[in-house]
């Protein structure tokens, strides 16, 4: 799956935005400039689809349990104004085009509008569209009407029951469209959001011993808390015909730990006879002995889930990373760009990253200039800068030429580094002049 376009209206600090996404998309900007809201809109839909409560139009999340905790409609809509209508749109590309009853579908667009009515969230309209088809349902004063087109045949004013959750058009409404399978669009929407995996900005602190149940985790968790269990499940993988897993995650972790200059070897040692409790040790670079990951520094434990996520996630996933550079040395922050480019190409992932790292950006520019890898070309990478103007969030795409140079570099993008250097130089000249006079 690949998200081609994300559109928001009256969501958090956004009045309106359409954001084309690449194979790798990086969001830069100051704090509270709207970067996180872009990620939160996708995660809001994901946790709503995964909610057990099918009558809930939007699931804004519970603290420490869900991907995002946004409060309620008033806190999420722009300006905290309940009179505003909130809108989310996603255009995504299917990896394998579908042969529908009357067309081959390779792209689907979802658009939903939400309102607050009598203190209840109402899905005011829901629409799916492809190149040739459009089907939607919209609320009138009391009921819902169906609208759209079945190729040349236009359909309107059909009364229907309310939609289910934020993405399911009622079956009786779909019956008006003979060329559309009633399960097609909601099923593909669910598949898209199942492909979305999220790793938050503060990963789980390291432990001295790790207990493994013998089964592989479904995901790493929002804090990467199951990263070690994922490595162990992959390491102990057994198949009836003795085949090895397609990806050796421990080998990938060791490879990238070395390349990033963090550690040399990665070893797991069972400390119980039943093989359920493990000591995870690494050899720190330029050292001759192993240490527990709990003694190796916070940076190693923060980096580990990032590497594991990239290779544990199923091929073709949509991976969201918030500030993967936290607690990492600037040289490692730069090398993270290489990790994301190579893993995205190898695993065919789409990656969306929120970052504050200038070192990461500069390495991305360098790889685009070198263009030695297919994915390290400007047509596959989109970089955005986020700013606040008149209490609204704005996104500016950074235009890169073929040499990796940013043609529309914003003022003070990463602070006034040049100004600081000039001030240091002036201070040096002034101090030396004073020393000579004395």
What average pLDDT does the segment 10-36 reach?
92
pLDDT tops 90 at residue 432: no
- Taking alpha carbons only, the member of 372, 385, 383 closest to residue 413 is 385
- Report the C-alpha gap between 43 and 41 in whole angstroms: 6
Q: What is the pLDDT of residue 107?
A: 95
The domains located in the chain, with CATH, are: 1-195+314-438 (3.40.50), 206-311 (no CATH)
203 or 141, greater pLDDT: 203
Angle between helices 298-312 and 330-347 (to 10 degrees): 10
Residue 30 contacts by C-beta under 8 Å, 6 or more apart in sequence? Answer: 386, 387, 388
Please state, in angstroms and as integers, the Cα–Cα distance from residue 24 to each residue in 52, 304, 364, 378, 383, following that order: 32, 20, 10, 10, 8
Quickly count: other Cβ atoms within 10 Å of residue 279's Cβ. Answer: 16
Distance of alpha carbon 147 from the chain centroid: 32
Vertex 113 angle, CA 110 and 118, to 5°: 150
pLDDT tops 70 at residue 286: no
pLDDT tops 70 at residue 51: yes
Q: Would you state the structure tokens that stand for residue 399, as one six-digit string?
A: 């235009």
Q: What is the pLDDT of residue 14?
A: 93
Quickly count: other Cβ atoms within 10 Å of residue 138's Cβ. Answer: 17
What kind and span of H or E run contains 274? none
Sign of CA dihedral 62, 64, 66, 72: positive
151 or 409, greater pLDDT: 409
- Taking alpha carbons only, the member of 110, 108, 107, 84 closest to residue 166 is 110
Of the candidate ranges 99-103, 189-193, 434-438, the one whose mean pLDDT is the lowest: 99-103
Digit-coded pLDDT (tens) for 152-197? 567 776 677 888 899 998 888 888 887 788 788 999 999 999 999 9
429 or 193, greater pLDDT: 193
What average pLDDT does the segment 50-66 reach?
90
pLDDT tops 80 at residue 285: no
With bands split at pLDDT 50, 70 and 90, how would you rate the model's confidence at 89?
very high
CB-based contact 306:335 (threshold 8 Å): no
Beta strand residue intervals within 311-420, DSSP E: 318-322, 350-354, 381-389, 392-397
82 or 287, greater pLDDT: 82
Of the candidate ranges 97-101, 252-256, 390-394, the one whose mean pLDDT is the lowest: 97-101
What average pLDDT does the segment 418-434 reach?
75
- Report the C-alpha gap between 348 and 338 in whole angstroms: 15
Instruction: Give percent of the chain with pLDDT exceeding 90.
Output: 48
Residue 362 contacts by C-beta under 8 Å, 6 or more apart in sequence? Answer: 334
Q: What is the pLDDT of residue 352?
A: 97
Name the average pLDDT for the chain.
87
Q: Would you state the structure tokens that stand for residue 271, as one six-digit string?
A: 């400390």
348 or 205, greater pLDDT: 348
Residue 7 contacts by C-beta under 8 Å, 6 or more apart in sequence? Answer: 17, 18, 19, 87, 88, 89, 90, 91, 111
Q: Would you state the structure tokens that stand for residue 92, as one six-digit string?
A: 């995504």
Q: Would you state the structure tokens that stand for residue 231, as one six-digit string?
A: 């490595």
With bands split at pLDDT 50, 70 and 90, how would you rate the model's confidence at 243?
low
Vertex 235 angle, CA 249 and 281, to 5°: 80
- Report the C-alpha gap between 217 and 231 in whole angstroms: 10
Averaging pLDDT over each range in 205-219, 237-251, 305-319, which range is the top one?
A: 305-319
Q: Would you state the structure tokens that stand for residue 60, as one six-digit string?
A: 């804004």
Q: Would you state the structure tokens that stand for residue 21, as one six-digit string?
A: 């996404």
pLDDT tops 60 at residue 336: yes
Digit-coded pLDDT (tens) for 357-415? 999 999 999 998 888 878 878 889 999 999 888 888 889 999 888 888 888 877 777 76
């Amino acid at each position: 799956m690949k998200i081609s376009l994300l559109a928001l209206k009256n969501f958090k600090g956004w009045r309106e935005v359409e954001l084309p996404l690449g194979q790798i998309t990086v969001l830069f900007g100051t704090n509270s400039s709207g970067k996180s809201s872009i990620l939160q809109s996708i995660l809001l839909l994901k946790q709503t689809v995964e909610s057990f409560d099918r009558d809930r139009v939007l699931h804004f999340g519970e603290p420490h349990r869900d991907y995002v905790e946004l409060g309620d409609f008033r806190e999420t809509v722009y300006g905290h104004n309940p009179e505003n209508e909130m809108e989310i749109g996603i255009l995504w590309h299917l990896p394998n085009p579908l042969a529908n009853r009357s067309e081959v579908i390779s792209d689907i667009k979802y658009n939903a509008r939400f309102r607050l009515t009598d203190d209840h969230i109402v899905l005011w309209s829901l629409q799916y569209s492809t190149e040739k088809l459009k089907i939607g349902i919209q609320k009138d004063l009391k009921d819902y009407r169906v609208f759209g087109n079945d190729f040349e045949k236009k359909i309107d004013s059909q009364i229907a029951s309310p939609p289910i959750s934020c993405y399911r058009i009622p079956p009786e409404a779909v019956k008006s469209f003979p060329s559309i399978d009633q399960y097609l669009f909601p099923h593909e929407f669910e598949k898209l959001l199942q492909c979305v995996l999220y790793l938050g900005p503060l990963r789980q602190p390291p432990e001295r011993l790790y207990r493994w149940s013998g089964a592989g985790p479904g995901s790493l968790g929002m804090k990467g808390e199951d990263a070690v269990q994922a490595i162990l499940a992959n390491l102990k993988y057994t198949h009836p015909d003795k085949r090895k897993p397609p990806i050796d995650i421990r080998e990938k972790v060791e490879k990238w730990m070395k390349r990033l200059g963090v550690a040399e070897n990665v070893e797991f040692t069972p400390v119980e006879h039943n093989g359920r409790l493990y000591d995870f040790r690494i050899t720190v670079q330029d050292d001759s002995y192993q240490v527990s990951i709990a003694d190796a520094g916070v940076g190693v434990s923060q980096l580990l889930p990032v590497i594991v996520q990239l290779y544990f996630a199923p091929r073709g996933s949509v991976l969201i990373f918030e500030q993967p550079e936290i607690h990492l040395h600037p040289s490692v922050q730069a090398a993270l760009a290489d990790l994301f480019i190579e893993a995205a190409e190898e695993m065919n992932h789409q990656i969306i990253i929120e970052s504050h790292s200038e070192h990461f950006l500069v390495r991305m520019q360098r790889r685009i200039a070198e263009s030695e890898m297919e994915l390290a070309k400007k047509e596959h990478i989109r970089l955005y800068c986020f700013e606040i103007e008149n209490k609204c969030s704005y996104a500016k795409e950074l235009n890169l030429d073929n040499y990796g140079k940013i043609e529309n570099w914003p003022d003070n993008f990463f602070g006034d580094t040049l100004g600081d250097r000039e001030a240091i130089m002036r201070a040096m000249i002034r101090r030396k002049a004073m020393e000579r006079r004395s």
